[in-house]
Structure 1
Amino acid sequence: MVEPNIRAVPRRDDIQGLRAIGALLVAIYHIWIGRVSGGVDVFFIVSGYLLIGSLARQAEAGHHVDLVLFATKLARRLLPSSFLVVAVIAMSAPFWLPRMRWEAGIHQIAASSAYVENWFLATAAIDYLARDEVGSPVQHYWAMSAQVQCLLILAAGIAIFALIRRRPSRTDLLVFLTSVFALSLAYSIYSTSRNQAFAYYDTFARIWEFALGAIARLLLPGIILSPTLRTVGGWVGLAAILSCGILLEVSTVFPGYAALWPTLAAAAILVCGDGPPLRFGVARLLAARPLTWLGDISYCLYLWHWPILVFYLTYTYQTSAGPIEGSVVLLVSIVLSYLTTRIVEARFPRRKKDDRPLQTAFGAIIALAVIAAGLFVWRVEAAQSMAEERLRVVDPEHYPGAAIKGLAAGSSEIPVHPGPMTARWDDADVYRDGCHQSLLGTALLSCSYGPRDASHTLALVGGSHSVHWLPALQGVLQRYPEWKIVTYTKSSCVLSSEVSSDVPAYRDACTKWNELLMERLLTTKPDLIFTTSTRVVGGVEEVPAGYQRQWEKLAAAGIPIVAMRDTPWFGFDVPECVEINGRFSPKCTVERNSVLAPISPTRAVSFKKNLHFLDFSDHFCTAEICPAVIGNVQVYYDKHHVTATYMRTLSEELARQLAPLLCHAEPLARK
């Protein structure tokens, strides 16, 4: 992603080369390495250096900071190519994008067109059920969205500051920009430490990068470096940029203090490259014709490389591109970038003074209307497909699910249910009823299912893998009208005294929620608790010690516990695999011994008082494999959550195994 050329400084070919390096890093890491390089952060620094630095120099010179003109020039540089790529994706995606991704794709294209894709992804990053979704063809628009927002915020800040100070000095502007830099960086460090997934896309955690670029621009006249320092500083900066993605897991530690690595490196190159050319300076390399040529098309290269890669990986059902295939993806992206730059951007010349904001706004509206029309047609087709799936009659004869003998995959003549358009929504009622706590929430949300005057209560507690047993339990309790279900569930948070999470905010929220949950359970004393008993930790299935400590406290209070062995976790989106490859494809199965221990680890638990273990693994796996479709029913609606439809087919067997507890239970407390 590359910034528009709105600047008041002479063209520096080394900056074009720096753009090329950033674009190549982004593309190469996406295509072959499957990681984030830090190249986007380099672009942010260059944007701040050229654009915000230019505005600051205008304010220093006493010129009026025209926000309308700034926004118009920004739009004329960014929107034509950006909207073209979005329009191509919107028109073509229904023909190649799996229907599993249609809903998210439509929403993300709309968000990208409005330049709020970063906030869409920030929200999805804390939505536990959305974190495992495959990247959309416009996911890379998050950086462009964050860039535009940061540029407009800083431009507005400088304009307001210039009005207050009338003709601010360079020192005044440096104090202002340094204050913005410090505040944003402090917030970025704090936010990253608490919730890195959200902070990564957070505009306010990124503003400091643009401010740093502008600070470098303002400091240039006062920086006098010897040729030796300029030479060493430039090459050290380039080495730091190239090594960043190799030595750091950028996607999991940015944008906090770790992002100072590539941003300071880019700032060093910009500062050291200013001045007379050096014989051995890094600017000579960056100003080489091949790099400057790539720099000229680097904005479009950023736009095109990601959707081309997503198309290839989707079409071939691969998770990464090989050397030859990746080279083809990169070559196609470069060709499209060149054509877009020459044909599209050439029709929107950049003038030093552009006084046609209304014409620019009208053009943007027309482009958005074209994109909206494509999305509307796509949405209608999606709605029709979804309606057909929802109207499908799911009878036990054609859709036996777990009741089929031997876990056979079923008949290829009968459509799999739920289908690709509805599988994501085939989950438990608690999500729609607002009873499931989020990753960051701590309050005990609860819903009750069954007769209000029921004399017995079954408490369903734990994380989302407890939740997906609710449809089966609802089927069980239809046979026992004296029972009701009360839910206490939270995303990625199990009933345990030890909470493990890479995100401190999630860990703290889960710990607090567990404290409140135990207090509630020990106070209300439900007649039976249903939860999960195992978890795969480091590739090994075990019964965590934290689980057992909570069970002991509850059992000591006389509360019986049913602990169900956890269901398999796949390493890929299961229903999407079925849609692309078919229900019988071995690509859509996993070996049983890779997801489940040969012998259930619950057998090693010595504590047994008021504790009853259930193991339904044979209803999800044969002796060798765990299939994706059983009895014509889709078993999973993502990588590891079980569909409500399949769970309902387990109700009869679950009722049989729970019968001794449900038939002979005595209420411990009246609700």
Structure 2
Amino acid sequence: MTVEPNIRAVPRRDDIQGLRAIGALLVAIYHIWIGRVSGGVDVFFIVSGYLLIASLARQAEAEHRVDLVLFTTKLARRLLPSSFLVLAVIATSAPFWLPRMQWQTVMQQIAASSVYLENWLLATAAIDYLARDEVASPVQHYWAMAAQVQCLLILGAAVAVFTLIRRRPSRTDLLAFLISVFALSLAYSIYSTSRNQAFAYYDTFARIWEFALGGITGLLLPGINLSPIHRTIGGWIGLVAILSCGIVLEISTVFPGYAALWPTLAAAAILVCGNGPPLRFGVARLLAARPLVWLGDISYFLYLWHWPILVFYLTYSYQTSAGPIEGAVVLIVSIVLSHATTRMLDGRFPGRKNDDRPLQTAFGAIIALAVIAAGLFVWRGEAARSMAEERLRVADPARYPGAAIKGLAAGSSEVPVHPGAMTARWDDADVYRDGCHQSLLGTTLLSCSYGPRGASHTLALVGGSHSVHWLPALQGVLQRYPDWKIVTYTKSSCVLSSQESSEVPAYRDACTKWNELLMERLLATKPNLIFTTSTRVIDGIEEVPAGYQRQWAKLAAAGIPVVAMRDTPWFGFDVPECVEINGRFSPKCIVERDSVLAPINPTRAVSFRENLHFLDFSDYFCTAEMCPAVIGNVQVYYDKHHVTATYMRTLSEALARQLAPLMRDAKPLAQK
């Protein structure tokens, strides 16, 4: 993945090619067999900074200027043909093997990857609660290349501006500048990771320090004179640290803060200790071995190819991970493709890249980009046609009884499942489109009202997304009670509780603040009825958290009735995607009831009941033994655990029967 535009080129070191090979192999092996992140990407980042940022700094020192245009064009000429080629293959082939559930998301990601903005698209999705459950796309790995290009351009521009201001910068000046950038970016990275790690992981500004560290290493290298024994020990310690990083750390949950110093400092140590005369027992001797150098030469394409090939296999086989043999096939195919495409584009292996063929490489990049655009155009047209066809289906009670079907049967295979694969993801409650559902980081109390404006009674729908998905059912209930309206107070991943348990500090703090404002509003307005959830699965156990009960007690003391609904099942996989690939009757798309719900409703253990009414609709989602994905020809879930609006509407009649005594006897607000 690392590139060399030959700005103030330095002699080629074969051990650096071997280090690239280690980074690429770690990324591929961890993705294929371990299902974790290895830290190999961070090794690439250090090498890029070492080769490119240090080269720019040396140019600034020697020539008192930085040719940023040359740097950018050479970077583009090396990157674009390769990345566009793989994107073109994915864009033209994915409609034939990718589940339709993913089409919209993957098309967006291909477009973002084409302009090297994939990392920001994923960062946004990381704070979109509903998008966090989407399965990986075949171009998700392009985030690292996007972050790399952005960091290199930002640092390159920063060095150019610093050189312009300083006019005749010395190496000491440039080192001080890069160290300052390193310190500022690392400090931001540590803070951002502690507050919102999911966003920080893809944040360009939380990654700049890694490239700056590589540049610092390159500038310091000529002045470092280590003894052979120190070079030997330091190099092997660096390699062991890189190899062990992904095993010891859960990188996907702690990077890129201070934990990322582990692989980056290790890579820097290898770069330092490998400089100089070859050592008999030095790590550079291993890294310069011909097989590793050969893999290093194709490492860029190996990074590009291994992920879509793995996603293709996992999609085709409907597996969550590859076995030893299958994974080996994925890796071998990736290596063969990488070798072939590297030779095809470069004519020869890296080291003398295609700098002498600018027109040819530019023309190839333009052709590939045109193929990507054409593929997306045709693909989008087919997606629009499929979506329009699905929307023509009318969820009438005869064909789509949903929860009203006897015994929760799966329905008839002759009737298409509704909502279908193209529309299920958007079959959710109105609050998302109406802009009154608060985000993960927001604290403002957003609200929407549904029902007659002059209604004398109010039902407050309160809590997180699992409260939200009951809104369509409640809207059906209100059709029987014209003097009632629904007022919503909802926030992603934030329930009505006095104690938020999110592992992300920023989410936890936002939820706590939101709950404070919510309770103030509820106690001030005193709605006739509050509807929320009563249980939550924590560490695999369904329970009624103490924080829930404390809030209920406060509301009960104020005379506000609370209806608390038992939470709906959480599946461990994308349910509609499973139905699309395997069929509605497949055992793969069904979970055992005991695995998602406690044998006995935990609300039975709650001691106080004053103004508190528990509902349990789990029998509308599960039989005594299992929980199906499709009931009465209706798709029950639109992701891993959120219920479709279509299925919820089929529960309106049953919910109305349960709420009737409370709604019928409620006094108007003016009389309370």
* TM superposition score category, shorter chain reference: over 0.9
Instruction: Pick closer, same or farther for the CA change 1:500–1:668 going to 2, 3 Å.
Output: same
TM-score normalised according to structure 1 size: 0.98
Q: Are residue 548 (structure 1) and residue 549 (structure 2) matched?
A: yes
Partner of 2:601: 600
Q: What's the offset of the Cα at 1:269?
A: 0.2
Alignment check: 8 A CA contact 1:527 1:669 kept: no
Aligned 8 A contact 1:3 1:43 in 2: no
The equivalent of 2:158 in structure 1 is: 157
- Kindly provide the CA deviation profile for residues 150-187 of structure 1, in whole angstroms up to 9, marking residues without a partner as x: 00111111111111112210000001000000000000
Moved over 6 A (4+): 347-353, 355-360
Corresponding position of 2:148:
147
What's the CA shift string for 1:616-671, capped at 9, x where partnerless? 00000000000000000000000000000000000000001100011110124589
The answer for the alignment partner of 2:135 in structure 1 is: 134
SS of the aligned residue for 1:613 comes to: strand
Number of the residue aligned with 2:246? 245
Residue of structure 2 in register with 1:210 after alignment: 211
User: Does the 8 A contact of 2:343 with 2:349 survive in 1?
Assistant: no
Counterparts of 1:637-652 in structure 2, within 5 Å, are 637-652=638-653
CA, structure 1 residues 669+283, in 2 after alignment: closer, same or farther (shift >3 Å)?
farther
What is the Cα-based RMSD across aligned positions, in Å? 1.5
Report the 3-state secondary structure (helix = DSSP H, G, I; strand = E; otherwise coil) of the residue aligned with 1:195: helix
Alignment of 1:215-234 (within 5 A): 215-234=216-235
Structure 2 unmatched runs, 5+ = none
Give the TM-score, by structure 2 length. 0.98
2:6 aligns to what?
6
Q: Tell me the SS of whatever aligns to 1:562.
A: strand
- What is the letter of the counterpart of residue 197 of structure 2? Q
Structure 1 residues 589 and 603 mapped into 2: Cα distance closer, same or farther (>3 Å)?
same
- Which residue number in structure 1 is paired with residue 636 of structure 2? 635
Structure 2 match to 1:417? 418
What letter is aligned with 2:654? E
Letter in 1 for 2:14: D
**Separation in structure 2 between the aligned mates of residue 11 and residue 355 of structure 1, nearest angstrom:** 18
Superimposed CA distance per residue, residues 374-428 of structure 1 (whole angstroms, 9 cap, x where no aligned partner): 0010000000000000111221001000000000000000000000000000000
1:188 aligns with 2:195: no
C-alpha separation in 2, matches of 1:555 and 1:88: 61
Provide closer, same or farther for how the CA distance between residues 58 and 158 of structure 1 changes in structure 2, counting only shifts above 3 A: same
The letter of the residue matching 2:3 is: E
Letter in 2 for 1:454: A
Matched to 1:446, the amino acid is: S
CA distance in structure 2 between the aligned counterparts of 1:669 and 1:349, rounded to whole angstroms: 79
Q: Secondary structure at the match of 1:584?
A: coil
* Equivalent pair of 2:456/2:669 in contact (CA under 8 Å): no
Map of 2:612 onto structure 1: 611
Mind listing any 5+ residue stretches in structure 1 that lack a counterpart? none
Question: Deviation per CA, 1:240-290, whole angstroms, max 9, x where unpaired?
Answer: 000000000000000000000000000000001000111110000000000
Counterparts of 1:502-651 in structure 2, within 5 Å, are 502-651=503-652
Instruction: Give the deviation of 1:351 after TM superposition.
Output: 6.9
Q: Deviations over 1:339-373 (max 9, x none)?
A: 00001222899879969978866654443222111
For the residue of structure 2 that corresponds to 1:9, the secondary structure is coil
Any residues of structure 2 matched to 1:83-482 within 5 Å, and which? Answer: 83-346=84-347, 364-482=365-483
What is the alpha-carbon distance in structure 2 between the residues aligned to residue 345 and residue 451 of structure 1? 68
Residues 346 and 353, structure 2, Cα contact 8 Å, conserved in 1? no
SS at match of 2:298: helix
Aligned partners of 2:607 and 2:634: how far apart in 1?
A: 37
Instruction: Check conservation: 1:6, 1:74, Cα contact below 8 A.
Output: no
Report deviation, 1:5. Answer: 5.0
The separation in 2 between residues aligned to 1:519 and 1:548, in whole angstroms, is: 17
Confirm whether residue 662 of structure 1 aligns to residue 671 of structure 2: no
One-letter amino acid of the counterpart of residue 4, structure 2: P
* 1:632 to 1:613, Cα distance in 2 relative to 1, 3 A: same
Identity of aligned residues (%): 87
Distance 1:328 1:354 in 2: 34
Letter in 1 for 2:392: L
Distance, in Å, in 1 between the alignment partners of 2:518 and 2:648 is 25
Work out the CA distance in 1 between the residues paired with 2:363 and 2:290.
37
CA–CA distance in structure 2, aligned partners of residues 503 and 213 of structure 1: 30
Check the 8 A contact 2:182/2:210 in 1, yes or no.
yes
Distance 1:133 1:263 in 2: 30
Given that residues 305 and 329 in structure 1 are in contact (C-alpha distance below 8 angstroms), is that contact kept between their aligned partners in structure 2? yes
The CA distance in 1 between the partners of 2:359 and 2:14, in whole Å, is 33
2: CA distance, partners of 1:353 / 1:242: 32
Return the alpha-carbon distance in structure 2 between the equivalents of residues 356 and 329 of structure 1.
32
Cα distance in 2 for residues equivalent to 1:346 and 1:358: 15
Compared CA separation, residues 384 and 635, structure 1 to 2 (3 A): same
Could you say if the C-alpha distance between residues 10 and 305 of structure 1 is closer, same or farther in structure 2, counting changes exceeding 3 Å? same
Q: Deviations over 1:497-527 (max 9, x none)?
A: 0101110000000000000000000000000
CA distance in 1, matches of 2:52, 2:454: 67
Equivalenced residue count is 671
Q: Deviations over 1:511-565 (max 9, x none)?
A: 0000000000000000000000000111111000000000000010000000000
Q: CA distance change for structure 1 residues 494 and 103 in 2, over 3 Å: closer, same or farther?
A: same
Instruction: Read off the aligned partner of 1:2 and give its amino acid letter.
Output: T
